[in-house]
Structure 1
Amino acid sequence: MNIRHPAVAGRFYDGSPTQLKEQLDDWLLPPLNAENKHIADVAQTELRALIVPHAGYLFSGQVAAAAYQHLREYADTIKHVILIGPSHRYFFQGCALPTASKFSTPLGNVTLNTQTIATLSEIEDFELSEQTHALEHSLEVQLPFLQTVLRNFSLLPILTSNVSPAKLAKLIDPLWRSNDTLLVVSSDLSHFHPYHKAQQIDRNTCDLIEHFEPTLTPEQACGSTGINMLLLLAKQRGYKLTRLALNNSGDTAGNKEKVVGYVSYLISNTE
């Protein structure tokens, strides 16, 4: 069995299964207060996708949890997850798929959709690359959240590099049709600006997202390709976006001289 072992457990998130589970269970309690009632109502529609950050949990974990907590009611219905994030270490043409059959975290193994991976690997814009996935954190940090809120699901992990959002949308569209398939896009926002400048940049980025403008650049969001792809498909399908949380590392565990921005969204079917 070919397993990709965790690369950032103990650094980006707790390496202890017990402590990690306790942290996530606390963060993933459903919103109960009146201020979140409109968000809970959105979750009652058909949830189709999430946009979530991928920094260390100390910095962005609760922003991600604001989205993942809405998946609990879908624990029995979501059977497949397409997880898309940017490659931080390697530049390549198209998208990279793993050679592993399972991804491991302190909470156990996640089974990959090896049949779909094999099919996609025959397409020009996809390549199999163990090296590209081995140390990448943008996908790994999402796994403990998914393991906590879902039950039996298969994972299709995709890293993006030099590929256009339009081409990626065309490739993902037929894979993201069934109601039992969730799309998760992993992305932080702006990087290393002073606190107030970052707030301005990130608010403008969110305005583009909320108007379904697929024009984000890597300077606005490191996972801009995945977000732009999602915006193209969401607009085409008439989906609704709901922002759940927006802050930056200066609000959580970092200084305010050079911050990284984080946002989470629900994408739901309004029909």
Structure 2
Amino acid sequence: MRMEARRLDQAIRPAAAAGHFYPSEPGLLRTMVDNLLNGARAASVTGGPPPKALIVPHAGYIYSGLIAASAYVRLETAFPLVRRVVLLGPAHRVGFYGIAAPEADCFETPLGYVAVDEASVEQACTLPTVFRYENAHAPEHSLEVQLPFLQRVIGDDFSLVPLVVGSAQATDVARVLSLLWGGPETLIVVSSDLSHHLDYHSAREVDERTSAAIESFNEEAIAPGLACGRLPIQGLLQIARQKGLRARRLDLRSSGDTAGPRERVVGYGAFEFS
């Protein structure tokens, strides 16, 4: 939704991570995202059909931005088909059981506003584990940090189905995705980092195993602690397997690769499903 097109009576979920995870100044943010996309484009995996679903990391852009960009450049083959993005990420700050849908009409970033697909949210809320809970969205960065990439790659004219996953079952996520799967106009994005606070070499070993589990649709091998978005990933793997999709790794690194040597690192992976 273009900034000037927003109605004055709309409820806005304001940007909470701007100035922390990514620049708050629109020009700086636009330049940073474009540079990340250009860097990823030069080394991108090519060929194959456009992705139906992506797994992307959600740390600060200086840490995981290039890994996330390796997934988003793959959307250039899908543009301009994508008009709805179903975006799921884990809850970091608010504890609850189930899957939280927003009450807001649009999400704000420094690049403008993204309209919430109200009809799809209403549809998702017909499931017993999905409910409106704005408190889960207000401080949550895992969804927000994906929006500037989407705005730069597929433009302003898409709607968003933002869902924060709390303590739930992977089958709950799979049910939501099945309900909202749609056709080529719908993109699924799961926001998740991988291992946390391991030494560099241990993180590489652990993340390699997690990556292999994702690529082989072995969701049971993704144990708690191996990915902060474990439940959204597992739910995606369940439905993607049912739909006959193939998984492909696009990038796998850690903050030790992107931000220099450090005692403990966080792992990041990017994957596409088509």
TM-score grouping bracket, smaller chain normalisation:
over 0.9
Cα offsets for 1:60-102 (capped at 9, x unmatched): 0000001101112323110100000000012211100111000
- Which residue is 1:117 aligned to? 121
4+ residue segments displaced more than 6 Å = none
1:33-182 maps to which residues of 2 (within 5 A)? 36=44, 39-42=45-48, 45-151=49-155, 152-182=157-187
1:226 pairs with 2:235: no
Cα offsets for 1:22-60 (capped at 9, x unmatched): 111122238666x75xx2112xx1420110000000100
Amino acid at match of 1:105: T
- Which residue is 1:8 aligned to? 17
Amino acid at match of 1:21: R
Q: Name the CA distance, whole Å, in 2 between partners of 1:95 and 1:232.
A: 17
RMSD: 1.5
Whether contact under 8 Å (1:31, 1:40) holds in the other structure is: no
Cα offsets for 1:167-224 (capped at 9, x unmatched): 2212221211311100000000010011111111111111111111012133000001
Match of 1:116, SS state, is helix
Whether contact under 8 Å (1:190, 1:198) holds in the other structure is: yes
Q: Name the CA distance, whole Å, in 2 between partners of 1:119 and 1:46.
A: 26
Q: Deviation of residue 122 (structure 1)?
A: 4.0
1:23 pairs with 2:36: no
1:204 pairs with 2:197: no
Identity between Structure 1 and Structure 2 (%): 42
Q: Which is worse superposed, 135-144 or 235-244?
A: 235-244
Whether contact under 8 Å (1:30, 1:69) holds in the other structure is: no
1:246 to 246, 252, 273: 252
Q: Deviation of residue 244 (structure 1)?
A: 1.0
Q: Name the CA distance, whole Å, in 1 between partners of 2:175 and 2:111.
A: 34
Amino acid at match of 1:260: V
Q: Which is worse superposed, 116-125 or 226-235?
A: 116-125
- Which residue is 1:187 aligned to? 192
Whether contact under 8 Å (2:90, 2:228) holds in the other structure is: yes
- Provide the aligned length of Structure 1 versus Structure 2: 263
Q: Deviation of residue 266 (structure 1)?
A: 1.3
Whether contact under 8 Å (1:59, 1:254) holds in the other structure is: no
Q: Deviation of residue 256 (structure 1)?
A: 2.5
Alignment gaps of 5+ in structure 1: none
Alignment gaps of 5+ in structure 2: 1-9
Q: Name the CA distance, whole Å, in 1 between partners of 2:270 and 2:82.
A: 19
Flag the 1:122–1:212 CA change in 2: closer, same or farther, 3 A. Answer: closer
Amino acid at match of 1:5: P
Whether contact under 8 Å (2:115, 2:158) holds in the other structure is: yes
